[in-house]
Structure 1
Amino acid sequence: MHSLLPFFLAMIAAIVLLQMWATKLKIAYPILLVVAGLLISFIPGLPRIHIDPDMIFFLFLPPLLFEAAWSISFKEMKKWWRIIGSFAFLVVLFTALSVAIVTNYFIPGFGLALGFLLGGIVSPPDAVSTGAITKFVKIPRSTSTILEGESLLNDASSLIIFRFALVTVSTGQFIWQEATLSFLWMVIGGIGIGLILAWIFVQAHKRLPTDAPSDIALTLIEPYFMYWAAEQLHSSGVLAVVSGGLYMSNRRLFFLNSSSRIKGYSVWESFVFILNGIVFLIIGLDLPEIVEGLHAKGIPLSTAIGYGVLVTAVLIIARIISSYAALVATLIFRRSVVPHASSLKRRLQMPLLLGWTGMRGVVSLAAALSIPVTLDDGTHFPYRNLILFITFVVILLTLVVQGLTLPYIIKRSGLFDAFKESGHAEAKQQLKRDLRQHIYQFLKTKYDNSPHDHAGMQKMLQHWEEKSKAADDDWMKGKTKEIFLEMLESQRAYLAELNKNPAIDEELIRTQLYQLDLEEERVKML
């Protein structure tokens, strides 16, 4: 343990340095991490890290999914639920089926069950990779919501396919009746367990005398408990974490105080960043063992690379085909939600670009590493090392090839110039004006008489009426401070009510709420 500790610390330091380097180069940090993982594997003398396949899901997936559920706007997801649902479920199934058919045909001895297993592993695009890549280019809010929502839900659908395929490979049989009932329980049970536990956690936060450290500590264990409880009841732990995370995210304003929200955001951002980095580096460290396994099975490295390139091509083609199918279906059934384009050519380019965003990442790595080494009868799991190697090649190629070219394609094509969401800046300014008016009316209505002879209250009214800033904060004491905090709470209630309007961008609401939290923390320290 003492010999591994410096190595783990060096891994974290390398992740931080690579992230800073990636920011300077203006490329996504997962690209550098996965390349670094590949290069690290060639360094002689490094310790071998053996991870229990049964623990990989439990260690990494719950917090990653939970944080993603807290980050996405559920209101925006509902707005685009048709295309998100089709990409998260139908496209994943179509992609897994395509991989299964192609690998069954081209890889000797690779049956359909193993093909579906591999398809379930590599079918879900990675939200972290896509988000890290698109942050260097401006894309419409609707497009980013679709990509985020898809990546959140397709993890669940792909892992359900993965689980059924794993059972089929292990037992050698697939019973439709049992599979259907099991699927329904995994979906309904997973969602139900997640919502029930999320409600219990919300009540715990509200009723217990928690502070920021205890609130953050609870949020760190909650996704693990949701996942574990659902898995113990043989339902989907992934769906439990996703549904529970979405439930709690929409109610964070009511059970977490401003200090917990601000500090928790920083803690979770760092925690998830380290988890992502570790997973990307782990596969590089495990690569020599995977290659040795390929040689032991008599599979040439060049042949395995060829299989990886083939599967990558199938994934890209299947996603592009699915994108155009979604466009056609939308034009036929929901023409009103198709974004306006300046020309037919630009409209036809949109699915091509959406299809090019399918970078794979952490979930695929976790799923591949979770494959057991042996079957129940003690025999080696068939083609395990080949599946791991193909997964690594897919992630490497999609991150490097698609990840490096996507920002260039977006900028070069100018595609999103025609899809700019008009009025975003105006909406932001209008929201601030409405808030100032709400504040002033709140103070005039509730404190119209007595506070006017109070020096602090006069300054507060002057601050919000004329947007002037006092030279010092001596006036912010006693009753004035109490009124100011009450005023901030009134603004939160106003914003929460305003967010019910589908036309209001929730990103603006969340930004303003974060600023209110910062203001409350500043006032509390006076």
Structure 2
Amino acid sequence: MEAKFQIFLILLAVLAGTALLARRINAVPAILLLLAGIALAFVPGMPSIELPPELVLLVVLPPLIYSAGVAMSWREFKFNLRVIILLSVGCVIFTAFAVAAATHYLIGLPWGVGFLLGAIVAPPDVVAPLAIARKLGLPRRILVVLEGEGLANDATALTLYRFAVVAISTGLFSLPQATGTFAAIVVGEILFGAAVGWLSLRVRHRARDPQVEITLSLITPYVAYWIPEHFGGSGVIATVACGLYISWNGPLWISSATRLQGIFVWDLVIYLIEGLLFLLTGFQMRSLLEKSKAFPLHDILFAVGLVVVIVVVARFAWVYPATYLPRTFNKRLRERDPYPSWRTVFVIAFTGVRGAVSLAAALALPYTLSNGEAFPYRDLILFVTFGVILITLVGTGLGLPPLVRWLGVAQAGHDEHIAEHEAEIEARREALAAALKSLDAITDDRELSDEVVKLLRARHEIRANQLPDTLDPDKHDVSAAGTALTRELIAAERKFIHVLLRDGKITDETRRRIERDLDLEEASLSNREYRRIPL
């Protein structure tokens, strides 16, 4: 137990150090973490660490999907639902069939094994592509489509995976039955996930205690995921539906104290889960190399290269027709959602990183069939899956930034970012005006002293004056200078409060209350801070 805890501490230290290095060299943390895991696995004396598939599928995946669902805008998800379904269902099935055909005819894998491998490597990851895309300032719609696809495609892939495993183990498969089962899973999990979200919000609202509410929020994704998964579903769709329901309805049911503390807790949980997941994924290289000795090296390399080419080409072959053909034959769709730029479509097609869910599915393959024979090509599937993850992650992480610059897609995101900030300023200004109008109505209905009314109006004036009139760089520099000075003044207050505590003039409890107010003010500065946008 002590040795395992020491390894856990080493992983945390490597996670923190790699994150700092990634920030220093402006690299994608996921790539460095994966490479660090590979390097750490071959350190002399380091024990081999197997990544339990149930750890990923039952423990790690639910909070990742749930948090992404809560962060997702339901309005934007609904607007892009057609595109998301085409990618998360259509593209996954198309890629699985493409991999099955290629590996059957060029490598000689049986159709069932090829389709199983296709189902494993077909779904792009939800974590790594977004981490890469957000650093590049891509347009919002690209991020929404990639995130929506990453949320939903695991359900399709895991369902296909289970059908393939059953078909290989028993030799039985029925397409109509599989299609009906998949439709029932989708409908049932959407309803169940929404019900869990509805119940979770009401239970948390009644608790009226931030610690209890945050604890319940950590339980929620497992309730949404485990129950459908136990009864033969995927659990993914239910968790996505639960997260989207809470995203849309949560602001009216979750208290401010819970929200402030919950954001910190969830950010830390997701940061640790994602980082350790990529590290442990890299760790699997050592055991995979040991298992690969049963196959000729050139066969393994050929299989990895072939599958990588197929998943990349299949994504392009699906994305472009799926984008343009429906608009060509549907005038109403074309009017509601005009043809996107080929550059935007190219970025979406290029960003197809495979992740830990694929590796977990490969690791979860049984060792033997129902008749006691060894599961066919299990080790080859494992090695090919890891190779696809490594190549797509590193290739996309290194190739996407120059590609985005070459295509000029980031300029659209830049313009969209400016428009979003201007809309935010206007929304804040209108909200303050609405609150001031409400104050006038309250003043007319109630007998309030002049001092109270004057104090409330002064609060609104201060908040209104903090809003920039424009995003013009020169005026923004003035605002930034004021923010920097305010931070210095807060720091001066902190030092003085510490002196008072040291001299025994105030208690620790008093110091904590004052510090909390200063922390909230500083956090408010960070939230209001408008970074200079190069024009």
Same fold, TM-score > 0.5, yes or no = yes
Q: CA 1:79–1:389 in 2, change beyond 3 Å: closer, same or farther?
A: same
Please state how far the C-alpha of 1:397 moved relative to its aligned partner. Answer: 0.8
Does the CA-based 8 Å contact 2:189-2:238 persist in structure 1? yes
Please state how far the C-alpha of 1:69 moved relative to its aligned partner. Answer: 0.6
Q: Distance in 2 between matches of 1:76 and 1:515?
A: 27
1:58 aligns with 2:58: yes
Counterpart secondary structure, 1:438: helix
1:331 aligns with 2:327: yes
Does the CA-based 8 Å contact 2:308-2:388 persist in structure 1? yes
Q: Distance in 2 between matches of 1:6 and 1:178?
A: 49
Correspondence for 1:40? 40
Correspondence for 2:432? 436
Please state how far the C-alpha of 1:66 moved relative to its aligned partner. Answer: 0.8
Q: CA 1:451–1:139 in 2, change beyond 3 Å: closer, same or farther?
A: farther
Larger deviation, residues 182-191 vs 214-223: 182-191
Root-mean-square deviation (CA, aligned residues, Å) is 2.6
Among residues 369, 380, 394, which one is paired with 2:388 in the alignment? Answer: 394
Larger deviation, residues 39-48 vs 79-88: 39-48
Q: CA 1:12–1:379 in 2, change beyond 3 Å: closer, same or farther?
A: farther
Does the CA-based 8 Å contact 1:127-1:148 persist in structure 2? yes
Correspondence for 1:114? 113
How is 1:52-201 mapped onto 2 (pairs within 5 angstroms)?
52-108=52-108, 110-201=109-200
Q: CA 1:102–1:83 in 2, change beyond 3 Å: closer, same or farther?
A: same
Correspondence for 1:409? 403
Among residues 279, 288, 291, which one is paired with 1:290 in the alignment? Answer: 288
Does the CA-based 8 Å contact 2:126-2:150 persist in structure 1? yes
Q: Distance in 1 between matches of 2:306 and 2:404?
A: 26
Q: Counterpart of 1:195 in structure 2: which amino acid?
A: A
1:277 aligns with 2:271: no
Q: Distance in 1 between matches of 2:394 and 2:230?
A: 38
Correspondence for 2:518? none
Q: CA 1:177–1:94 in 2, change beyond 3 Å: closer, same or farther?
A: closer
Please state how far the C-alpha of 1:54 moved relative to its aligned partner. Answer: 4.1
Runs in 1 of length 4+ with deviation above 4 angstroms?
A: 337-341, 449-452
Correspondence for 2:239? 241
Does the CA-based 8 Å contact 1:211-1:260 persist in structure 2? yes
Q: Distance in 2 between matches of 1:42 and 1:302?
A: 22
Larger deviation, residues 5-14 vs 229-238: 229-238
Correspondence for 2:455? 459
Q: CA 1:49–1:128 in 2, change beyond 3 Å: closer, same or farther?
A: same
Q: Distance in 1 between matches of 2:157 and 2:147?
A: 15
Does the CA-based 8 Å contact 2:281-2:356 persist in structure 1? no
Q: Distance in 1 between matches of 2:461 and 2:42?
A: 65
Please state how far the C-alpha of 1:374 moved relative to its aligned partner. Answer: 3.0
Does the CA-based 8 Å contact 2:41-2:48 persist in structure 1? no
1:300 aligns with 2:296: yes
Q: Distance in 2 between matches of 1:182 and 1:399?
A: 33
Q: Distance in 2 between matches of 1:206 and 1:424?
A: 31
Please state how far the C-alpha of 1:424 moved relative to its aligned partner. Answer: 2.5
What percent of counterpart residues are identical? 34
Q: Distance in 2 between matches of 1:150 and 1:393?
A: 22
1:367 aligns with 2:361: yes
Correspondence for 1:356? 350
Q: Counterpart of 2:430 in structure 1: which amino acid?
A: D
Q: Distance in 1 between matches of 2:345 and 2:314?
A: 12
Does the CA-based 8 Å contact 1:371-1:384 persist in structure 2? yes
Q: Counterpart of 1:276 in structure 2: which amino acid?
A: E
Q: Distance in 1 between matches of 2:203 and 2:395?
A: 47
Counterpart secondary structure, 2:43: coil
Correspondence for 1:485? none
Q: Distance in 2 between matches of 1:324 and 1:182?
A: 29
Q: Distance in 1 between matches of 2:373 and 2:48?
A: 23
Please state how far the C-alpha of 1:131 moved relative to its aligned partner. Answer: 1.5
Gaps of 5+ in 1: 342-346, 473-513, 520-526
Q: CA 1:306–1:337 in 2, change beyond 3 Å: closer, same or farther?
A: farther
Correspondence for 1:316? 312
Does the CA-based 8 Å contact 1:62-1:241 persist in structure 2? yes
Count of residues in correspondence between the two structures:
468
Q: Distance in 2 between matches of 1:146 and 1:259?
A: 32
Counterpart secondary structure, 1:423: helix
Does the CA-based 8 Å contact 2:205-2:254 persist in structure 1? yes
Q: Counterpart of 1:71 in structure 2: which amino acid?
A: A
Counterpart secondary structure, 1:249: helix
Among residues 248, 251, 259, which one is paired with 2:249 in the alignment? Answer: 251
Q: Distance in 1 between matches of 2:308 and 2:435?
A: 55
Counterpart secondary structure, 2:118: helix
Correspondence for 1:497? none
Q: Distance in 2 between matches of 1:99 and 1:356?
A: 18
Counterpart secondary structure, 1:448: helix
Does the CA-based 8 Å contact 1:126-1:360 persist in structure 2? yes
Q: Distance in 1 between matches of 2:319 and 2:52?
A: 37
Q: Distance in 2 between matches of 1:515 and 1:310?
A: 52
Please state how far the C-alpha of 1:84 moved relative to its aligned partner. Answer: 1.4
Please state how far the C-alpha of 1:154 moved relative to its aligned partner. Answer: 1.1
Q: Distance in 2 between matches of 1:261 and 1:218?
A: 13
Counterpart secondary structure, 1:250: helix
Counterpart secondary structure, 2:135: coil
Please state how far the C-alpha of 1:238 moved relative to its aligned partner. Answer: 1.3
Please state how far the C-alpha of 1:351 moved relative to its aligned partner. Answer: 2.2
Among residues 219, 222, 225, which one is paired with 2:220 in the alignment? Answer: 222
Q: CA 1:315–1:446 in 2, change beyond 3 Å: closer, same or farther?
A: same
Q: CA 1:378–1:17 in 2, change beyond 3 Å: closer, same or farther?
A: farther
Q: Counterpart of 1:352 in structure 2: which amino acid?
A: F
Q: CA 1:137–1:457 in 2, change beyond 3 Å: closer, same or farther?
A: same
Q: Counterpart of 1:234 in structure 2: which amino acid?
A: G
Q: Distance in 1 between matches of 2:91 and 2:17?
A: 36
Does the CA-based 8 Å contact 1:26-1:136 persist in structure 2? no
1:425 aligns with 2:425: no
Q: Distance in 2 between matches of 1:62 and 1:279?
A: 13
Counterpart secondary structure, 1:165: helix
Larger deviation, residues 285-294 vs 418-427: 418-427
Correspondence for 1:481? none
Counterpart secondary structure, 1:381: coil
